[in-house]
Amino acid sequence: MDIVYIRDLRIETIIGIYDWEREVKQTVSLDLEMAHDIRRAAQTDDIQYALNYKSIAKRLIAFIEQSEFLLVERMAEEVAGIVCKEFSVPWLKLRVSKPGALRGSQDVGIIIERGERS
């Protein structure tokens, strides 16, 4: 299976368990690797057969900007569900990070995989 990816999609949102985190927006960064057979899109040069990463990014930005999750784990599960169900993605590797959340580190976060890779 081929991979369509989005790297470092930065979104402002309320995220975190501490009181101060519930009052200010923070940046989260998403990296997505999504399984998709690109052969038909390549043969026809037709967007209708491609995995539309712009549509995926717009959907995730709208969703995350309106969310107020406590944990990145919950956010990751919700994002994975949206991508897999709404965009018919059979396999997804997702990295969600909070840049600057831990002093002395560039970022912290999680990586999950959902679905089956062909």
Give residues with Cβ within 8 angstroms of 109, minimum separation 6: 29, 72, 95, 96, 97, 98
Q: What whole-number distance in Å separates Cα of residue 54 and Cα of residue 69?
A: 24
Instruction: Choose the catalytic residue: 25, 58, 85, 98.
Output: 98
SS3 16: coil
Q: Which of 12, 50, 34, 60 is nearest to 112 (CA)?
A: 34
Judge whether 98 counts as a catalytic residue. yes
As annotated, the active-site residues are 98
